[in-house]
Amino acid sequence: MSQFSSNWLKLKQNKTLLQPTPQVQKKKDPETKNNEEEKEIKNNEEGKEKGKEIEKGMENKNKKEKEKEKEKEKEKENDTEGENQEEDKKPIKIGKYLSFACDTCISKAQKEEEIIARVSIINYEGKVVYDTYVKPAEYITNYRTAITGITKKLLKHAPSLTEVQEKVSTLINNRTLVGHILKPKLKLLYLNHPHKFTRDISRYQLFLSSRNKKKPLKILAREFLNQEIQQKHHSSVEDARTSMKLYRLIKEDWEKEIKEKHLQKIRKFKKKQQQQQNKTSNKKKRHVSEFIDQSNKKVANESEMTEKERVKHEKMKKYYVNKYNQRKRKKKEKKKRSKQNKKFRKNSFQSKKSADMREFK
């Protein structure tokens, strides 16, 4: 046997040598245990503190980001306000077309009458040209706050009716006025506007009902603009804008119709004028010129005229000339009377207006 095998047998006999040596666990001292526990607690506390610090840092970052966003929004708002202020500083273009609307209150002087409380005028682009409350001169029984939103405080320091009347009349002059049921609204301000410069939307055929009745503005806005108005309170600015929007839809067709009607009237007037001229020219010939021509022919044929014939000739001539002059005078008198009647109507309207204004004062 070799030396290696002999050694192996010896090791087999001594089995204890082959077994692994057991690891001896060192007993820890109580002081070391306490120190380790304290270290673990400190590490946990430090971790919690670090977590809190991280959370605070994230919150601060979010706050800073939010503040930056708010600052940017404020800058944008300031820019827009600046632009709006610049636009406000610039004079608003009034233009050719204006829209008119108003709100009213109720007084009880003799009967329940409507008094104008707010006036608003808007241009073709939808910008406000003039918007004010009107100070009432009479005692108001119902401010209609549920409908219009007007209160006593709003009308306390408002301008008077005469001031508003003057301002509106200057703005409206020689401009087309658009609105919904305009005539009674202008009557509250004691104003008139010529028919050729008025565009009352309620009278247009497309906006009328099947029985040719006027529709309210709320229904027209819903049908043709898909827009809801007058939900909480009636606003004269909103009403004026909607009436202008409705007018824009129809403007081309409506203006063409008005031009055609105007041309038809001119043609009729020209025809009548020509007929009258023809009649007058024929009458002149019949009454004066033809008679003289015939008499001259007779004179030419007859070399000598008797005294009786000459007297007859002169009398007939005077008779027809006087008739022609009388007709001219009658026509002139008719024209004068028509002018006087127009002046009388205007003066009567102004006298009524002045009497009403005295009552206000």
Residue 323 has pLDDT above 60, yes or no: yes
What pLDDT is stored for residue 300 in this prediction?
42
What pLDDT is stored for residue 327 in this prediction?
83
130 contacts 121 by C-beta, under 8 angstroms: yes
Residue 346 has pLDDT above 70, yes or no: no
Quick one: tokens of 345? 């109507």
Residue 255 has pLDDT above 90, yes or no: yes
**Arithmetic mean of pLDDT, 88-97:** 76
Q: How does the average pLDDT of the chain come out, rounded?
A: 77
What pLDDT is stored for residue 27 in this prediction?
44
- The predicted-structure confidence for 285-299, as pLDDT tens digits, reads as follows 555 555 555 545 444
3-state SS of the chain is CCHHHHHHHHHHHCHHHHCCCCCCCCCCCHHHHHHHHHHHHHHHHHHHHHHHHHHHHHHHHHHHHHHHHHHHHHHHHHHHHHHHHHHHHCCCCCCCEEEEEEEEEEEECCCEEEEEEEEEEEECCCCEEEEEECCCCCCEEECCHHHHCCCHHHHHCCCCHHHHHHHHHHHHCCCEEEECCHHHHHHHCCCCCCHHHEEEHHHCHHHECCCCCECCHHHHHHHHCCCCCCCCCCCHHHHHHHHHHHHHHHHHHHHHHHHHHHHHHHHHHHHHHHHHHHHHHHHHHHHHHHHHHHHHHHHHHCCCCCHHHHHHHHHHHHHHHHHHHHHHHHHHHHHHHHHHHHHHHHHHHHHHHHHHHHHHC
- The predicted-structure confidence for 233-246, as pLDDT tens digits, reads as follows 889 999 999 999 99
Amino acid of residue 279:
K
- The predicted-structure confidence for 204-219, as pLDDT tens digits, reads as follows 999 998 888 999 999 9
Residue 48 has pLDDT above 50, yes or no: yes
91 or 291: whose pLDDT is higher?
A: 91
What pLDDT is stored for residue 86 in this prediction?
44
Q: Where are the domains of the chain?
A: 97-251
Q: φ and ψ at 130, to 5 degrees?
A: -155, 130
- The predicted-structure confidence for 263-281, as pLDDT tens digits, reads as follows 998 998 988 888 888 877 6
**Arithmetic mean of pLDDT, 62-83:** 64
What pLDDT is stored for residue 169 in this prediction?
93
11 or 112: whose pLDDT is higher?
A: 112
Residue 73 has pLDDT above 50, yes or no: yes
State which fold the 97-251 domain adopts.
Nucleotidyltransferase; domain 5 (3.30.420)
What pLDDT is stored for residue 236 in this prediction?
92
Residue 79 has pLDDT above 70, yes or no: no
